[in-house]
Amino acid sequence: MSFVPHSDADRRDMLARIGVSSIRELYSDIPGSLVRDGLPEMPDALSEWETVKAIQELADRNHSLICFAGAGQYDHFVPAAVDHLVRRSEFYTAYTPYQPEVSQGTLQVIYEFQTMVCELTGLDVANASMYDGPSAAAEAAVMARAVTRRDRVLAAASLHPHYRKVTETYLHGQGSELQTVPIDERGLVDRDALAEALGDDVACVIVQYPNFFGVIEELEPLAEIVAEAGALLVVAADPVALALLRPPGVCGADIVIAEGQPFGNPLSFGGPVVGLFAAKQKYVRKMPGRIVGATEDVEGRRGYVLTLQTREQQIRRDKATSNICTNQGLNALAATIHLALLGRHGLRKVAEVSTQNAHYARSRLEGIAGVELLYPDSPFVREFAIRTEENSRAILERGFSAGVLAGVSLSRFPALGAPDGLLLAFTEKRSREEIDRLVEVIAG
Amino acid sequence: MSEIPDGLKYTEEHEYVRDTDTENEFFVGVTDYAQGELGDVVFVELPAVGDTFGRMDVFGTIEAVKAVSDLFSPLTGEIVGINEALAEDPALVNSDPYGEGWMVRIRATDPSEIDGLLSAADYAEHVDA
């Protein structure tokens, strides 16, 4: 199929047909003060070599730092095989490749992806992915409102501030609001406050696991309290930690979401990433997003299709739970390949080494003057927070000079009400030497 | 030719109203014509007992593989029963729309609305037209 652009004669004809004198006139709703005539002064075009040189010079200004920053996205190792497969043009360039007659490979991969998400979360059904963790959390809240036909949404104070903000934005559009449930001195959700805040107008409670401060939340008692109030429990999880923790689905979660970036996707300065979304079977018809199902063709062979499409807005329109009509196909593919390479044991190993690194760091930080664990008596997996007497930004500056990204400053999130300090995250990439360097930086 | 039993009343949106053994309470479902047009029914979303609806308010949805349609209440009233069997076996709507495929039982607050519904003959004309 060839590309045939419009000619000037075509444009004149079309404009005449609709009674408009110019294309500019079609944009008459835009205030004149905002319209520019032509492009601004642009420098001369560069040759390919000049362009490459210019971009290389910019890139050389990047610092490669040993990364101890987490807070939702983590510096895990992605084996070369992932990229090698993802960059195959059949995957890389295909746009919305879901017609089953010609896309069995893609559909099967997504089915495998969904299966892995179910295994990690301990729930019955997963979708083909969301944009990212925060929007998945927001969609979970919206779904809970649709399932329960209730209005209010509660979230733990220890939910990632970005997840909170995105959820608030989605709820604002629905005329609903997000209320916060405080945490106690151990960094866990305050159960009394939770019971107090619940009511028969609460659709769901969102809890992070481990929470923003790295603390492992006790899900089962929370699940009981929430279920008794007739609300749903939404759990936002660290998918790597799920290799070690009791699956939230087993603990009573109704919906589990996560940021899937640690699998197969580099940090990439924030994105693109991939949201994981799973729920109990009984809620499947209210789930957002694409779902791939397994079926049989006319010859009885196993095949895969997009299924339950009547949930989606292209059919259900304004009655759909969500208007999402996409997924993060390539990122989900990368995640699936990575997990397939790791296998169950490999993933557990990644989680174990990450955890061991975090606990080694903790032991090295004990006894450092001016540094205390924010929740010293609470269990954590691969991330924890320290409060620092010294300004955390100053510590980070010191780290830059030493080639270390010494965590995420808690002062970036004033709404948390936490003291100044650093959130430190550990992956299997970090070595003992690197952690010793981090400790030196923090100690000053 | 779809089946259009005589003793029932109908709406232009293809719902029917059938007497129960209780005065002012009626079974509501969709007609044989509707189930034929929809194809295999895979899911029926029903209201809760106690919900109230005005005449022609949407009380639920019916889903086939590629389409979703609203269900309109022929009468103003309160839902006093729903057909739980449809959750397990939505195909009852296809196989027995007027019998086992009933959807809700409604207690009409204004029984005179029945007179405003279509007779079997009127409905037959409507679907033929």
Instruction: Parse chain A into domains and list their residue ranges.
Output: 66-77+344-443, 80-336
- Cβ contact B43–A315 (<8 Å): no
CA dist A292 and A104 (Å) reads 11
Residue type, A33: S
Element (H, E) at B121: helix B120-128
DSSP E strands: which ranges in A298-416?
Answer: 302-306, 371-373, 383-388, 404-405, 408-409
Q: Which of A147, A310, A317 to mutate to test the interface with B (most CBs of B within 10 A)?
A: A310
Q: Write out the two tokens for A323.
A: 């208007």
Asked, colleague to colleague, whether A66-77+344-443 and A80-336 share their fold, the answer is: no
Q: Which residues of B touch A319 (CB under 8 A)?
A: 61, 68
Establish if B61 touches chain A: CB-CB under 8 angstroms: yes
The CATH class for the domain spanning A66-77+344-443 reads alpha beta
In sequence order, the β-bridge partners of residue A385 are: A423
CA dist A203 and A139 (Å) reads 13
Q: How far is B103 from chain A (nearest CA, A)?
A: 19
* Strand pairing category for B104-108 and B58-64: unpaired
CA dist A150 and A156 (Å) reads 19
Query: Per residue in A116-148, is it b (16+ CB within 10 Å) or e — as a string?
Result: bbbbbbbbebbbbbbbbbbbbbbbbbbbbbbbb
Question: Closest-CA residue in chain B for A315?
Answer: B67
Which of B42, B45, B67 is nearest residue A315 as measured by Cβ atoms?
Answer: B67
CA dist A299 and A279 (Å) reads 32
Q: How many CB atoms lie within 10 A of CB A290?
A: 24
Q: How far is A280 from chain B (nearest CA, A)?
A: 16
Question: Closest-CA residue in chain A for B41?
Answer: A310
- Cβ contact A319–B66 (<8 Å): no
Q: Does the structural domain A80-336 have CATH classification 3.40.640.10?
A: yes
Interface of A with B in 291-310 (CB under 8 A): 309-310
SS3 A278: strand
- Cβ contact A315–B65 (<8 Å): no
* Cβ atoms of residues A158 and A208 within 8 Å: yes
Q: What is the dihedral of CA B4, B5, B11, B12, to 10 degrees?
A: 10
CA dist A395 and A422 (Å) reads 9
Q: For the segment A310-367, what is each residue's pLDDT rounded down to a tens digit? A: 888 888 888 888 988 889 999 999 999 999 999 999 999 999 999 999 999 999 999 8
Q: Which residues of A touch B61 (CB under 8 A)?
A: 319
Q: How far is A311 from chain B (nearest CA, A)?
A: 9
Q: Which residues of B touch A316 (CB under 8 A)?
A: 68
Residue the block writes with tokens 């360097």: A437
pLDDT in tens, chain A (444 residues): 688 999 999 999 999 999 999 998 999 999 989 988 888 888 999 999 999 999 999 999 998 999 999 999 999 999 999 999 999 998 999 888 889 999 999 999 999 999 999 999 999 999 999 999 999 999 999 999 999 999 999 999 999 999 999 999 999 989 998 999 999 999 999 999 999 999 999 999 999 999 999 999 999 999 999 999 999 999 999 999 999 999 999 999 999 999 999 999 999 988 899 999 999 999 999 999 999 999 999 999 999 999 988 888 888 888 888 988 889 999 999 999 999 999 999 999 999 999 999 999 999 999 899 999 999 999 999 999 999 999 999 999 999 999 999 999 999 999 999 999 999 999 999 999 999 999 999 998
Which among A162, A99, A71 is positioned nearest to A405, based on CA atoms? A71
- Cβ contact B43–A285 (<8 Å): yes
Q: How far is A315 from chain B (nearest CA, A)?
A: 6
CA dist A300 and B56 (Å) reads 44
- Cβ contact B43–A319 (<8 Å): no
Cis, peptide link before residue B47, omega less than 30° from 0: no
Establish if B63 touches chain A: CB-CB under 8 angstroms: yes
* Concatenated DSSP letters of A5-20: PPPHHHHHHHHHHHT-
Q: Which residues of A touch B68 (CB under 8 A)?
A: 310, 315-316, 319
Question: Closest-CA residue in chain B for A282?
Answer: B87
Q: How far is CA A321 from the centre of its chain?
A: 20
Share of chain B above pLDDT 90, in %: 94
DSSP E strands: which ranges in A210-264?
Answer: 232-237, 255-259
The CATH class for the domain spanning B11-20+38-73+86-96 reads mainly beta
Which of B42, B43, B68 is nearest residue A315 as measured by Cβ atoms?
Answer: B68
Q: Which residues of A touch B67 (CB under 8 A)?
A: 310, 315
Establish if B95 touches chain A: CB-CB under 8 angstroms: no
Q: How far is B113 from chain A (nearest CA, A)?
A: 28
Q: How far is B39 from chain A (nearest CA, A)?
A: 14
Residues contacting residue A368 through CB under 8 Å, at least 6 positions apart: A439, A442, A443
Q: Which residues of A touch B43 (CB under 8 A)?
A: 285, 310
What pLDDT is attached to residue B129?
A: 64
- Read off the pTM: 0.89
- Cβ contact B67–A316 (<8 Å): no
Q: Write out the two tokens for B115.
A: 């007179």
| Pairs of residues, one from chain A and one from chain B, whose beta carbons lie less than 8 Å apart | 17
Question: Closest-CA residue in chain B for A284?
Answer: B43
